[in-house]
A and B are shown apart, each in its own frame.
Chain A
Amino acid sequence: MTKDTTSTRRSFLKGGALLAAPLAAVGVPAAVMADDGLKARLAKLEDEAAIRELHQSWLRRINTGAGDAAASLFANPERAAFDPSVRSIAPDHAGQPDAIEAAADGKRAVGRFHCAIEIEHAIAQDCTLAQMAHAQGGGFVRRTERRVLNVEYAKASGAWAIAKVEFASV
Chain B
Amino acid sequence: MPGTPYPKEQMHRIAYTKLSQQQIADKLGPVAASGPKSASPLSDVFAGKSIRIVTDKGPALAYTFSRTNRLSLAEDGGAAVDAGYGALTLSSVAFFSHMIPGTQRGYAAVIDRKTNLATVFELWFSGYEDNREVQREIYYGYVDQPGQDAPKARHVTTNRVEGKAFYWKQDTGAETLEFYPSAAYSNFVELSRLGGELGFCAPSDYIKINDDRYIYTRTECEFSGTFTAYVMDLNRIEQVGVRLGFNADDQLEYYVFRGNGEWLGQLAQFEKFGDENGSPVPVAPAGQTAAKGARRVYRPFKTMAKMTKAEVDAACAKKTTAFAPRTTGPAAGMGGNLGPSTDWLAGKTFTLRYDHAPAMEYRVDDAETLNWRKEGDSSWTKARYQGWESMPGVIMFGHLLEGTPNHDGHAIVADFHQGLVTCFNGYLNTPYFANEAGVKTLFGVIEMDGLIPPKYNRHFFTDEMVGRAVSQNYAPNLTSMHLYTTPHSLSWIIFTDTDAGGLEWSGPASYVKIRDGLFFMYWLEEACNGTLGTILVNLHTMRDVGVGYNCGPQGLGMSAVGAHERLAGRFDVRRFYQVKTSGGAA
A residues contacting B by CB (< 8 A) are: 121-124, 126-133, 135-142
A131, B492: Cα distance in complex, Å: 13
With A128-B492, A138-B502 already in contact, 17 other A-B pairs whose C-beta atoms are closer than 8 Å: A123-B331, A123-B478, A124-B330, A124-B333, A126-B333, A128-B505, A128-B529, A132-B502, A132-B505, A135-B296, A135-B503, A136-B184, A136-B298, A137-B282, A140-B497, A141-B476, A141-B477
Residues of B with C-beta under 8 A to A122: 330
Q: Does B95 belong to the interface (CB within 8 Å)?
A: no
- B477 to A, closest residue via Cβ: A141
| A121 touching B503, Cβ below 8 Å | no
A138 in contact with B333 given A128-B525, A132-B505 (CB within 8 Å): no
Could you tell me the distance in whole angstroms from the C-beta of B547 to the nearest C-beta in chain A?
13
In the assembled complex, B266 has its CB within 8 A of some CB on chain A:
no
**Is B1 among interface residues, defined by CB-CB distance under 8 A?**
no
B286 located at the interface, meaning its Cβ lies under 8 Å from any Cβ of chain A in the complex = yes
The interface residues of chain A lying within 8 Å CB-to-CB of B480 are 129
- In the bound assembly, the distance between CA atoms of A136 and B296 in angstroms comes to 6
A-B contact pairs, 13 of them (CB 8 A): A123-B477, A123-B478, A128-B300, A129-B474, A135-B296, A135-B503, A136-B496, A136-B502, A136-B503, A138-B502, A140-B477, A140-B497, A141-B475
Measured CB to CB, the nearest residue on chain A to B474 is A129
* A129–B502 CA distance with the chains assembled, in angstroms: 11
Smallest Cβ-Cβ distance to A129: which chain B residue: B480
Residue total for B at the interface (Cβ-Cβ under 8 A): 31
**Chain A residue with Cβ nearest B505:** A132
- Which residues on A sit within 8 Å (CB–CB) of B286? 137
A14 to chain B minimum Cβ distance, whole angstroms, is 63
Binding site for A on B (CB under 8 A): 184, 281-282, 285-286, 296, 298, 300, 329-331, 333-334, 474-478, 480, 492, 494, 496-497, 502-503, 505, 525, 528-529, 531, 548
Q: A124-B330, A135-B296, A138-B497 are in contact. Are A129 and B477 (CB under 8 A)?
A: no
B281–A129 CB distance below 8 A: no
Q: A135-B296, A136-B296 are in contact. Are A129 and B334 (CB under 8 A)?
A: yes
CA distance A126 to B505 in the complex (A): 17
Cα(A130)–Cα(B495), bound, Å:
11
A112 to chain B, nearest CB (A): 29
Q: How far is the CB of B329 from chain A (nearest CB, A)?
A: 7
The answer for the CA separation of A122 and B286 in the assembled complex, in Å, is: 15
What CA separation (Å) do A142 and B330 show in the bound complex? 10
Residues of A within 8 A of B285 (CB): 137
Max chain A C-beta neighbours (<10 A), residue from B296, B476, B477: B477
A123 to B330, CA, bound (A): 5
With A and B bound together, what is the CA distance between A46 and B505 in angstroms? 60
- A128 B475 Cβ-Cβ under 8 A: no
Complex Cα distance, B475 from A135, in Å, reads 18
Q: Find the residue from A131, A136, A139, A140 having the highest chain B CB count within 10 A.
A: A136
Q: Assess A137 versus B333: contact at CB under 8 Å? Given A123-B478, A129-B492.
A: no
Measured between beta carbons, the chain A residues less than 8 angstroms from B497 are: 138, 140
Contact partners of B494 in chain A: CB under 8 A = 129, 132-133, 136, 138
Q: Complex formed: what's the CA distance from A107 to B279 in Å?
A: 52
Bound: A138/B329 CA distance, A? 16
Shortest C-beta distance, B192 to chain A (Å), equals 30
Cα separation A160 to B54 with both chains bound (whole Å): 55
Q: Which among B285, B503, B505, B529 has the highest number of chain A CB atoms within 10 Å?
A: B503
- The reply to whether A127 and B333 form a contact with Cβ atoms under 8 Å apart is yes
B548 touches A137 (CB 8 A): no
Q: Considering the chains assembled together, what is the distance between the CA atoms of A123 and B335 in angstroms?
A: 12
Q: How far is the CB of B322 from chain A (nearest CB, A)?
A: 15
